[in-house]
A = this chain, B = another copy of it.
Amino acid sequence: MTTSAIAEALRLHPGPVDLASIETDAAPGFDGKKADGQTALADLGSELSDLQERLWAERTAGSERRVLVVLQGMDTSGKGGVLRHTIGLVDPQGVRITSFKAPTDEERAHDFLWRIEKGLPPAGYIGVFDRSHYEDVLIARVRGFAEPDEIERRYGAINEFEARLVDEGVSIIKCMLHISADEQKARLAERLANPDKHWKYNPCDIDERAFWPAYREAYETALERTSTQIAPWHVVPSDKKWFRNLAVGQLLLDTLRGLDLQWPAADFDVEAETARLIGEAPVQ
């Protein structure tokens, strides 16, 4: 399996995680500036599209394989931007985006993984989770929506859940979009300054910033406990939007390349069908 320099640089290795030591405005594994990065992302488009179509085609021959991109990050870290600029590069027919908001009463009446299971991509699809089951060990921990022993149980439940998905043919790409508190402040200020962006702003966003250190700690614990060999986390420096978009695109491309996707062989007699088409009665 090919692994790009970007993927190597972003992949989290086993052991304690210290987010403060990971730069938010770096571009690890990439040698270039903004314009180069934008070009590099656009250049991924045609291979991504080709491989996505092969994944889609494979399912017509019975393959169960699919890809799941998990996007996590603080408010304004750019989950929407990745969807627009990176996922927007591939055919929307083969994409399934699921956004997880605060759980509904019905969802709360089930185990936390119930709604996640329902949002999984079918065979042949690239699924993207905009937030995910990780909210249940992040905001749930910071805001005390679940007891500590339940949070503790969830790390193990997540690892078992993801291991089952991998066994079922799901390739999981977990991305934590890593921004600094200062960068978030600048992005919120920009939303406030621009009337076209007021709809994106919520006064709770500032309230939530008071919990920044608690979120960082919750992320560090979640990353450490759930970055496994089969479904590792990638910490994506996201102060630079262009690098964030490029990095997720590169991770997706690496994963699709690693699947060694082939066009399915014909399940019919090509020569006989060609003769039948040529020899058909006139149609009009």
A residues sitting closer than 8 Å to B (CB atoms) are 57, 60-61, 80, 83-84, 87-88, 91-93, 95, 97, 99, 130, 181, 185, 188-189, 192-193, 195-196, 198-203, 206, 209-210, 212-213, 263-266, 268, 270, 273-274, 276-278, 280-281, 283-284
Q: Which residues of B contact A185 (CB under 8 A)?
A: 277, 280, 283
If over half of A's interface residues share one DSSP class (helix, strand or loop), that class is named, otherwise mixed; here it is helix
A88 touches B83 (CB 8 A): no
* A198-B264 Cα distance, complex, nearest whole Å: 8
Could you show 6 A-B contacts with beta carbons less than 8 Å apart?
A: A57-B199, A83-B91, A93-B97, A189-B274, A206-B280, A213-B284
A273 touches B60 (CB 8 A): no
B83 touches A273 (CB 8 A): no
Q: Which residues of B contact A268 (CB under 8 A)?
A: 201-203
* A95-B277 Cα distance, complex, nearest whole Å: 37
Q: Which of chain B's residues has its CB closest to A211's CB?
A: B283
The complex is assembled from copies of this chain, and their number is 2
Within the complex, what minimum Cβ distance (angstroms) separates A113 from chain B?
Answer: 23
* A215-B92 Cα distance, complex, nearest whole Å: 29
Q: Which of chain B's residues has its CB closest to A196's CB?
A: B263
Q: Which of chain B's residues has its CB closest to A181's CB?
A: B283
Within the complex, what minimum Cβ distance (angstroms) separates A56 from chain B?
Answer: 9
* A31-B199 Cα distance, complex, nearest whole Å: 39
A84 touches B91 (CB 8 A): yes
Q: Which residues of B contact A209 (CB under 8 A)?
A: 280, 283
B213 touches A273 (CB 8 A): no
* A120-B192 Cα distance, complex, nearest whole Å: 34
Within the complex, what minimum Cβ distance (angstroms) separates A66 from chain B?
Answer: 16
Q: Which residues of B contact A206 (CB under 8 A)?
A: 273, 276-277, 280
9 nearest A-B residue pairs (beta carbon): A198-B266, A57-B199, A181-B283, A84-B91, A199-B264, A212-B283, A83-B93, A92-B92, A192-B274
